[in-house]
Amino acid sequence: MTAGDLFSRSLSKVRALMSGSPTRVRAPSERDIERIRQQLQECAESRGGEVSTRQRAARLAETYLRLNDEGRHAFLRMIALEFGPDPARVADAHRAYQKAVGSDRQWDAEADLRAAMRSRRLRILTQFNAIPQGVKFLVDLRADLLRYLSDDPLLKPLDRELEGRLSAWFDVGFLELQRITWQSPAALLEKLVKYEAVHEIRSWDDLKNRLDSDRRCYAFFHPRMPLEPLIFVQVALVDELADNVQQLLDIEAPLADSSRASTAIFYSITSTQEGLRGVSFGNFLLKRVVEDLQRDFPRLKTFSTLSPIPGLARWASRNPAECAQVLAGADWKRLAAAGVDGPDSPHLRALLGGASDWVQDHALVRALREPLTRLAAHYLLNAKRDDKPADAVARFHLGNGARIERLNWLADTSHKGLSQSWGLMVNYLYDPDRIEANVEAFAAEGRVDAAAAVRRQGRS
């Protein structure tokens, strides 16, 4: 059997394992651990030529994919702890650099110091690029790594190096923006259904509706992952600011005339690859999509989202004193008539914790509209985590230059919408004339741009 035959067999096994084909997954024995260590050592030393490198990377990928969760953790821990820079070599190079500062040797000494600090971990990881699906393998490997990280901080150096390498490989300049349509490959459409994280796609009719002529779906792709959308956005072309996602998703609703649309509503944005956490390209996606839409639909003047507020109910349940302060000015007579007799009412505590059965009580729905909208505005404007908005979706859009334009009561009456934000959704408006100023103010001062009505609602 030739080297080429061996390589082809190895690649076939890797493809089968990555596609989810049934295989034997097991914990590693001591003998397996030593064999893995030897394989990693060979990769770190870059022995042989190009064919040897590819064979080695394919075998190592196959080994990793056959391990169970405990084995994969051990594999990554071995790379992190045993294949970093040599401390003695770094110390020697640093001393030599300090002595050379100010002399003709300084720049050579600096290069030597950089070489000493170069990690063998990166040499191992980079070799997976040599195999088909190698980039996807590394993205999935980092997804595993992130799961182990919270309980094993010794993996942090490996995660930092891998995130840095992936950030370079997934630079927005390498990404391709594509529109996804009903005529796109079936495998790609299945990925949309699988990955959609904001509003579940319930059927093929539902998916077809989201790809109809009054809708658009765009995604970023990497050339080495052609059927794996990295992030995608779903857009509705309408004639006014949307305030109800069920109406947008209604498959029975009549088709709108997209040529007359004045407003583009980004109603779902989904990042698909957990292994690319920390690698940011969502803001570039929205900018590119706006440009594409403006070219195709010159009548479009307004670009807005209809976004969930996923952290609202969870924040409220964890901050009862702050919620009570915000709700102090509520119309408690009206609330009492609807069955909520005060800030400590068990009914209200259950509601703030995410209960969803209250929506059937029309009197309660009317009584809760003002206080819960006020609480949502306060949360978006004032709740912080690390000096940034506590809500992840708010952090994304405000960081990209959007303005909090409007809060929408009972805009999402699905179980998910009611349990995470009492059915409230928010419009983030992307005003081309204010985006850059908003980005700078948010980055420098944490300043949140919001419409006057939202600011009035958020005053506690």
For residues 23 and 424, give the distance between their C-alpha atoms in angstroms, rounded to a whole number.
45
Q: What are phi and psi of 208, to 5 degrees?
A: -60, -40
Tell me the Cα Rg of the chain: 27
Is there a catalytic annotation at residue 378?
no
Spot the catalytic one: 307, 356, 378, 421: 307
Measured CA to CA in angstroms, residue 192 lies from 138, 228, 359 at distances of: 21, 9, 31
With beta carbons less than 8 A apart as the criterion, state whether 376 and 427 touch: no
Query: Helix H segments across 278-319?
Result: 282-296, 312-318
For residues 256 and 349, give the distance between their C-alpha atoms in angstroms, rounded to a whole number.
42
How many residues in total does the chain contain? 460
- DSSP codes joined into one string, 203-250: SHHHHHHHTSTTEEEEEEEBTTBTT--SEEEEEEEESS----HHHHH-
For residues 70 and 333, give the distance between their C-alpha atoms in angstroms, rounded to a whole number.
58
**Amino acid sitting at position 340:** V
Is there a catalytic annotation at residue 317?
no
For residues 445 and 210, give the distance between their C-alpha atoms in angstroms, rounded to a whole number.
38
- DSSP codes joined into one string, 248-268: HH-TTSPPP-GGG--EEEEEE
Spot the catalytic one: 73, 199, 378, 397: 397
With beta carbons less than 8 A apart as the criterion, state whether 62 and 23 touch: no
CA angle 373, 377, 381 (to 5 degrees): 170
- DSSP codes joined into one string, 127-191: GGGGSTTHHHHHHHHHHHHHHHHTT-GGGHHHHHHHHHHHHHHT-GGG-EEEE--TTS-HHHHHH
Would you put residue 20 in left (φ > 0), alpha (ψ -120 to 50) or beta?
left
Structure tokens at 217: 């779906």
Q: What are phi and psi of 192, to 5 degrees?
A: -60, -45
Q: Give catalytic residues, as residue numbers.
A: 307, 397
